[in-house]
Structure 1
Amino acid sequence: MDTRRSIDGQAMGLMLLFCLCLGMQQVVLKIAGQDVAPVLMLALRSGIAGCLVACYMKWTREPLDLGGRNWRQGLVVGVLFSFEYLFLGEAVRYTTASHAVVFLNTAPIFAALILHFRVREERMAAAQWVGILLAFGGIALAFLGNPENSVAAPDMLLGDFLAVMAGLSWALTTVVIRSSRLAHNSVRQTLLYQLLVAFVLLTLAAGLTGQWGFNPTPRAFASLGFQSVIVAFAAFMVWFWLIRHYQASRIGVLGFMTPLFGVVLGSLILDEPIEPNFLLGALLVLAGILLVNGYGWMKQLIFKPRP
């Protein structure tokens, strides 16, 4: 019997904080970019967060079974996780935080599309295919944005493309976890695989691309603390607690708040312009995500038997 609870005030509050943290991470990368190269920042945060997760597992007496039978799948998700943040780190060098957060959060759309063909239980209904079409139409519209800006700043298109690739990498990580033995693995163990592999690969990437610059300013250390302790450790611990105690499908629907926060914070803090075409495209992407992820929940609400 499923003992997970429906959404309540506690879940809403925690998801609000979780989405706020994820929406803020691109903004913080942009702010700290003057002192720390984004890829180096993401490498350092992965190492610090990995140590924190390992310490937490030791404290709760959960075994650190990195060399167990799931190490191959753990290595794969670690590599995909690394690509996600390598693409994101490069994306914020060229595009706005607002664009990066919206394109990164297309991951649920890519994941649903791939899982439809790989896992029988993940087959989509007709309404969800409408959500897929809405989302991809929104991506196209948001990607083009203002044609004048695109011509004047071709680097922005590159940044947008890299952010989409980050979303695709995130989706592939989800697919591997969902369709392998990692689906039954400890979530903290899986997170530890991701963080440790990302630390190694992103550090190598920073070295190969010459992104070693670290100016030890208060802003740099504050940003590193936020990225490693708040986002990569605490926020994901909250997420795992939520999906353990609440119905995951309904919790996942609330993830649409992340790009909303990212766009608003990018505009307020970084004074980023929001082009009309991008705003409309972003709304279509959000509508698609809600329709794909929230289909089961909405179906229950519509067809719920009347008392």
Structure 2
Amino acid sequence: MPYTRVVLLTLLALVAFAGNSLLCRAALAHTQIDAASFTTIRLLSGAVVLWVLVVLRNRNRRDSVKVTGHGNWQSALALFVYAAGFSFAYIQLNTGVGALILFGAVQTSMIAFGLWRGERFTTAQWLGLLLAFSGLIGLLLPGLSAPPLTGAMLMIAAGVAWGVYSLRGKGAGDPLQVTAGNFSRTVPMALLLSLMLLSRVSLDSTGVYYALLSGALTSGVGYAIWYSALPLLKATTAATVQLSVPLLAALGGVVLLQEPVTLRLLLAALAILGGIALVVLTAKRL
């Protein structure tokens, strides 16, 4: 695949990831849709689009390679916790703050898992991890510009769940088909959540439209694009380029949603993203 196409696919995927934060925040802050309904519509539309992509891909395959993997309920539960926590957190959090907390929690949980499994860190990596933790703690400390604690905790839970989901996905089989299977399994969970919160259901056309875009486009198509680019990227490159997602989301929030940028957010972003970059880029080459 030509280098320019790889770059284009990677950029489109990163924009899609940032778009998820923008669409969720826009829906829950500027429309009447409730978080449970947004989650359900997002997961349902994502499942439909992903299975359509799987069917089309398999139909057009010219080789006899068997496609393996259909997802599982444990991974689906992690995916559901991520999606639900993500939605309910964005009731309170601005786009950039939410994306930064999410990204910090995802990477921190995955790094912690590596340490638990016995991976050895260099001195520079330990400094990077300490810097990232310090940035996350500094962002959450009480103060005039601190994000609401409930929203922050929900987003941290969403980030940890996405980290678990990502770790469980390693070697699970064909990424697109496994993701489609996991999304499908989240649908009954999401419907149950909506049923439990039926008294709080609130829908409007714009909110539903945003949820459909988030599920079908920035989740379904976005994940498919990312999986097309991922095999052609080095692991360190794939991890590093994702550092741009919170910044893209924050920029989109400022430009499209007129959200403020605080000094605390800027300093926390530098600490968290810089620390994680230090961990990734100074990893031992085995």
TM-score (norm 1): 0.81
Structure 1 residue runs without a partner (length 5+):
63-68, 301-307
Aligned to 1:303: none
CA contact 2:82–2:159 (8 Å) conserved in 1 = yes
Instruction: State which of 203, 208, 232 in structure 2 corresponds to 1:214.
Output: 203
Q: Secondary structure at the match of 2:132?
A: helix
- What runs of 5+ residues in structure 2 fail to find an aligned partner? 60-67
**CA distance in structure 1 between the aligned counterparts of 2:178 and 2:128, rounded to whole angstroms:** 29
Contact 1:82/1:194, CA 8 A, preserved across alignment: no
- The offset of 1:149, in angstroms, is 4.2
Select 1:50's aligned residue among 40, 43, 47: 47
CA distance in 1, matches of 2:69, 2:172: 10
The one of 257, 263, 268 equivalent to 2:250 is: 263
Can you list the C-alpha shifts for 1:173-229, whole angstroms capped at 9, x where unaligned?
222233xxxx141112221232112222122112213343221x2x23431332122
Residue 202 of structure 1 aligns with which residue? 190
Partner of 2:237 in structure 1? Answer: 250
SS of residue paired to 1:61: helix
Q: 1:133 aligns with which of 112, 130, 134?
A: 130
Q: How far apart, CA to CA, are the structure 1 residues paired with 2:160 and 2:265?
A: 20
Aligned equivalent of 2:276, options 289, 293, 303: 289
Aligned length: 274
Does the CA contact (< 8 Å) of 1:81 and 1:194 recur in 2? yes
Instruction: Identify if the C-alpha distance between structure 1 residues 60 and 288 changes in structure 2 by more than 3 Å, giving closer, same or farther.
Output: same
CA deviation after TM superposition for structure 1 residue 61, in Å: 2.6
Structure 1 Cα separation of the partners of residues 182 and 115 of structure 2: 24
Structure 1 residues 240-259: Cα deviation after superposition (integer angstroms, max 9, x where no partner): 01112232331221001100
Correspondence for 2:93: 95
Correspondence list, 1:22-41, <5 A: 22-33=17-28, 34-41=31-38
Question: Take 2:120 and 2:134, find their aligned partners in 1: how far apart are those partners?
Answer: 21
The 3 A distance-change label for structure 1 pair 239 and 148 is same
Alignment partner of 1:83 out of 78, 81, 99: 81
Alignment RMSD: 2.5
With 246-255 and 161-170 compared, the bigger mean Cα shift is at 246-255
CA contact (8 A) 2:41 2:208 kept: no
- For 2:12, the equivalent position in structure 1 comes to 17
Q: For the Cα contact (< 8 Å) 2:39–2:190, is it kept in 1?
A: yes
Structure-2 residue corresponding to 1:110: 109
Contact 2:16 2:219 in 1 (8 A): no
Secondary structure of the structure 2 residue equivalent to 1:94: coil
Q: Structure 1 vs Structure 2: percent identity of aligned residues? A: 17
Q: Look up the match of 1:169.
A: 161
Q: Return closer, same or farther for 1:27/1:75 CA change in 2, 3 Å cut-off.
A: same
**Mapping 1:138-153, distance limit 5 Å:** 138-144=135-141, 147-150=143-146
Could you tell me which residue of structure 1 aligns to residue 180 of structure 2? Answer: 192
Deviations 1:42-81 (A, max 9, x none): 221211221222222222337xxxxxx977x721111011
C-alpha distance 209-225 of structure 1, shift in aligned 2 (>3 A): closer
> What is the SS of the residue equivalent to 1:95?
coil
